[in-house]
Structures are given as C-alpha cells and as structure tokens.
C-alpha cells in the first residue's frame, strides 16, 4: 500500500510503497526511545526505498547515533530540521529498504493483531510493556524480520 507521511510542521512530506505496513513492532532501545518514542518505544514500518518520494528535502537532516562501543550506527535516521519530527530510518546495509516511523504516517494504518516488543534490555524503567498476552518479547533483536512477520500472518500488502 502507499503510505503518505509528513513531519509535524509540514516542511517535509513523503510517499512510499510499503509491503509491511502493520505497526506491530515496538522498539524500546535508547535511540528509538529518545529520538522518536516519547511513550517509551518507537514503531518502524517496512517499505521500498526505490519508491520513496520526498518534498522539502532541504529540511531533512540525518542523525547517526554513536553506539555504546564507540562505533557510529549504520542507521541513517532522517528527521525534520524545523520541527524535529523523526521520519524514517535508512541503512546502507539493506539499501533497498526504508523504515518509516509509524508516527510520521498520515495514511490510516492497519491495527496490529498482536505486537512484538524488542530491545527490552534497554527499556526505560518507567516504560510499561503493554499489549496482548500473546505478544512476543525480546531483550535484544527479534527472531523474525518485519517481512517474515507479515508473511507468516498473511498481512503482506501487495
């Protein structure tokens, strides 16, 4: 499905084709939480980088986090320089993918039937893990990708 997204001030707008539009994966890592997750976590979607069209590119900035081991993250976190809204993550390790933040999407997204909670090892102490009893939980990375999760549930958008 096509996703339409924007930052809060409207300086940056984008469209992208997404085969993985269900906002099921909640990431509690400190980068997501501090840059994009006021509620304690952020949600990324899966989309096709080749289809990403952006207006207001001059307002885009990229944040590359320094990791605990001192290395610089390969993740390029794009945000609006005017209002600070987190928009999407692109990583040259998987250059064909782009991961828009669900929070930046204006298109109504499907409601997830369940959630996956990841990076709980770096969760803020105050953040409660809310969701369904059957939700999977991981201290670090999950055992399946965004694409596999959608495929296994028949939720891939064609």
Structure token pair of residue 107: 């298109």
Question: Which CB, 8 or 34, lies closer to Zn ion?
Answer: 8
Nearest to 112, CA basis, from 1, 27, 24: 24
How near is the Cβ of 41 to Zn ion at its closest, in Å? 22
Rule CB under 5 A: which residues touch Zn ion?
Answer: 7, 9, 11, 80, 82-83
Nearer to Zn ion, 54 or 83 (CB): 83
Nearer to Zn ion, 83 or 129 (CB): 83
Is 13 or 137 the residue whose CB approaches Zn ion more closely?
Answer: 13
Instruction: Name the minimum Å distance from CB 136 to Zn ion.
Output: 34
The gap between the terminal CA atoms of the chain, to the nearest Å, is: 7
At its nearest, how many Å lie between Zn ion and the CB of residue 37? Answer: 18
- State the nearest-atom distance from the C-beta of 149 to Zn ion, in Å: 30
């Amino acid at each position: 499905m096509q996703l339409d997204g924007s930052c809060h001030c409207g300086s940056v707008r984008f469209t992208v084709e997404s085969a993985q539009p269900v906002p099921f994966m909640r990431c509690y890592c400190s980068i997501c939480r501090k840059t994009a997750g006021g509620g304690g976590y952020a949600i990324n979607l899966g989309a096709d980088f080749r289809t990403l069209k952006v207006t207001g590119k001059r307002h885009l900035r990229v944040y590359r986090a320094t990791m605990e081991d001192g290395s610089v993250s390969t993740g390029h976190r794009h945000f609006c320089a005017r209002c600070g809204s987190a928009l999407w993550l692109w990583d040259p390790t998987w250059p064909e993918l782009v991961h828009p933040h669900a929070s930046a999407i204006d298109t109504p997204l499907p409601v997830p039937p369940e959630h996956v909670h990841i990076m709980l090892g770096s969760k803020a102490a105050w953040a409660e893990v809310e969701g369904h009893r059957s939700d999977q939980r991981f201290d670090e990375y999950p055992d399946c990708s965004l694409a596999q999760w959608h495929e296994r549930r028949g939720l891939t958008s064609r």
